[in-house]
A = this chain, B = another copy of it.
Amino acid sequence: MKRILVTIFCLSLFFGSFAQELANFMGSAPIVSPEITNSGITFRISAPYADNVKLNGSWGASVEMTRSANGVWSVTIPTPTPELYTYSFNVDGISYNDPANVLMQRDGTRYLSVLLVPGEATANYFEATQRGNLSQVWYDSPTLGINRRLFVYTPYGYNKGTTKYPVLYLLHGAGGDEDAWSTMGRTCQIMDNLIEKGLAKPMLVVMPNGNPTQQAARTTMLPEVPIDRNAPNYDPNGYVNSIVKDIVPYIESNYRVIANPNSRALAGLSMGAGHTISCTNLYPGFFSYICPLSNGIRVTDENKATYEEQFKALKKAGYKLYWIGCGEDDFLIESARTLDATLTSLGLKHTFYVNSGGHTWTNWRIYLNKFAPLLFK
């Protein structure tokens, strides 16, 4: 509780000092938003000419805001359960981010204001004391024929000493890019906290871009390089192959890491879970830790035999962990259940972690918190 109060205090200082700067800049009374107090969270926005202003937050239903005499609209809501939320204002029908809040995240092409409510559940989403570094790294992908960008988290202490580290390769979903896990997923903060608390082994986390036509996130303005799916040499597994043939070799020859299967983990959410399953099925024995999140497999008459063959090969090659995470309200829960049942029927040891909630970053952050401590042990 003390830590929570301290954090709330720090957040108040933080928002307060920002508000002061805004006031200096605008030469008017500062607008503080969001303001976290013991009685709730107050949101404010200046919209003197608006007829109707609402607050839309990922914590629940839309709420009406009230206009004050000076044209500032506000509303105070009960503090929601500790979580990282996104929100926006709806001002006369258009969605509007909070101009008084410096915390913003980009989900693919959309920007949203961020509210991080402190508490036990979100403690690992704040900066730890011992912090690792994050690098934006360009590498050649001969498999895809383009130069591409990935993000690399190196743990606290990597710069010193001669220790070699294991590596988690962490894949995003459709609509995301190499930026997704480190921003919306708060990967650096989660890993820093888990490692500092002794709960996870120090490891590198490599976050590639899973869209094979993209050189990098669209914010780089690099054009996409279209793939001709009718070309004779078109390989539907191009991206998955590039993980094993381009990304892992690049990391293992450029970073101080342990280059063997027992020191390689592959995890991914949604589309990235599909990549994880495909990759570990196509390259059995290459990754000893396998964590598909919020997705599974769809078994049809056509692919049933292939899946069986691949999973049997994986069982034979051996692995240390197969950890499936999915929310029971996730629209892909059935595919995760099918994966669970298939592994069970074929005798592949695994964990099927089902929690509440859906296809959300709330769950993907929870899963990273859950499975990272199980890696490389």
Contacts and interface: CB of A to CB of B under 8 A. Distances in A.
A93 B48 contact: yes
Minimum-distance CB pairs A-B, first 5: A10-B223, A135-B135, A49-B93, A131-B138, A49-B92
Interface in A93-128: 93-97, 99, 102-104, 106, 108-111, 116, 126-127
Interface string A353-369: 00000000000000000
Contacts of A106: 102, 104
Interface string A14-54: 10011001100000000000000000000001111111000
29 contacts: A10-B221, A10-B223, A11-B221, A14-B221, A14-B224, A17-B224, A18-B109, A21-B108, A21-B175, A45-B94, A47-B93, A48-B93, A49-B51, A92-B92, A96-B96, A97-B111, A102-B106, A104-B106, A104-B111, A111-B111, A116-B221, A127-B221, A129-B147, A131-B138, A131-B147, A132-B138, A133-B137, A134-B136, A135-B136
B110 A99 contact: yes
A237 interface: no
Interface string A260-286: 000000000000000000000000000
Contacts of A116: 221
Nearest to A108: B21
A132 B127 CA distance: 27
Contacts of A48: 93
Contacts of A133: 135-138
What interface size band does chain A fall in? 35 or more
Contacts of A94: 45-47, 49-50, 91, 96
Nearest to A137: B133
Interface string A327-343: 00000000000000000
B47 A126 contact: no
A99 B108 CA distance: 12
A141 to B, nearest CB: 14
B138 A13 contact: no
Interface string A215-234: 00011111110000000000
A286 to B, nearest CB: 23
Contact of A218 (B18, B129, B156): B18
Contacts of A300: none
A162 interface: no
A58 interface: no
A254 interface: yes
Given A92-B49, A136-B133, A136-B135, A102 B223 contact: no
Contacts of A126: 221
A368 B127 CA distance: 33
A306 interface: no
A81 interface: no
Nearest to A160: B254
Contacts of A132: 138
Given A47-B93, A97-B97, A102-B109, 13 more contacts: A10-B221, A10-B223, A21-B175, A47-B92, A49-B93, A91-B94, A92-B92, A99-B110, A103-B219, A126-B221, A127-B222, A131-B149, A133-B135
Interface string A292-336: 000000000000000000000000000000000000000000000
Nearest to A92: B49
A159 interface: yes
